Structure 1
Amino acid sequence: MRQIVLDTETTGLNAREGNRIIEIGCVEILNRRLTGNNFHRYINPERDSEEGALAVHGLTRNFLSDKPKFAEIAEEFREYVADAEIIIHNAPFDLAFLDAEFDRLGLPRFVTHVGEITDTLAQAKALHPGKRNSLDSLCDRYEVSNAHRTLHGALLDAELLAEVYLAMTRGQESFSIDLGESNGRAGGGVEFAALEEIIVLAASEDELALHEATLDKVDKESKGACIWRAEKAD
């Protein structure tokens, strides 16, 4: 299935209080590869952003004043996401805003236009219980560089989340555990070679001498507690 990683920026935290979407960023994934067929739009919310939200995204009303209104990009957006699996971090937040925008236009809820919704925050909590699972924390955990991220941006965050998602789900098609065999593979892609195919390279005399010198140093610094030599003696 075609996958779309989606993120939004908004004028505030609560869609029920009249806050609006001001930016949508989407990144397309096909066969676990980023295609570059992204969707990115700034949107005129026809209102100011709350102070806390403005500090997060930095998108002022003046900057957004000449951007299209949501009604003007709604059909293009619906066509882009149609029938795809939508991947969102903390999905209830973005869905509440998308549903509110669709409702203003008399359109059915967002989920009726797409294939399914995947919440990476829920996935991360299942994989890393008791740990911080914000997008920044997951970037650190999966070594996805976010050094260029000074302010939040919908497309930038969607790109980061796409990399995190691919890293977080690498080697597995689902979060279920399959104990059966699958074409000689285990752990989602590790192949085992037959014993006769394994090539053993013996250490050279120089390498053995260097190894012994290293053990001498370890033995001296540990006052005779070198575990390697103790194991060899046994």
Structure 2
Amino acid sequence: MGTKKYRRDTLIEAGLLFSLFYLPGYLFLAGIPDPRSFNSLLYNLQIWILLVPQIFMVIYLMHRDDLLDFQSFGLVRPGAKDIPFILLAAAGTAAVVMAVQVTIMLVAGEVLPEEPLWKLTKYSMIAPVFISSLLTGYSEELFFRSYLYTRLEVLDTEKWSRLIFVNILFAAGHLYEGVPGGFNAFILGCYFSFLFTRKKNIHIPAILHGLYNFSALLLTLFL
């Protein structure tokens, strides 16, 4: 499907986007982060300034695609009809996370690290952290699920190969959490990919991804 030039340009474009958005962080920022970063409004503002242009860049490239429209990328208008499925999928997310944690416990002998990698201690930061979590969810899901997975689908790659490739790439960005963190990201990424291919609606995995990040931080505040 598509011409040779379209295939070549698609691969170059995807490679450049990944190199610009994610590769520097994978290579140079993969150390253990400052656990209390999210307690700073400035840190959250930096996230917003970084992610909002990324989101619009990916959407712009979707707009300029010669073969696909927004709907093909799952960029559709969200509606009230999506709420029941999102709630059901949220329960599924919790079940997936629990299953992953039990697997890690059985294999590695522990479920959580002694200290969480991120700690939220200020109630005043709940709203900014919610926005940061949601922007992170949209940024990553738009690139990995909506953009990259769909591009590879158009290039006639085999379904399981693109599923594994996209989610290994996604999980690699979480290896600063250790192998268990990378494994958790891979399984969650596969689950989000399943939801995306099932509904072709990027808002569903993006919202769930954001809520997962927010919930993880919120737990450190209350526990």
TM over 0.5: no
More helix by share: 2
TM-score scaled by length of structure 2: 0.25
Structure whose alpha-carbon radius of gyration is higher: 1
TM value normalised by structure 1: 0.24
**Larger RCO of the pair (alpha carbons < 8 Å, separation 6+):** 2
Between Structure 1 and Structure 2, the one with more strand by share is: 1
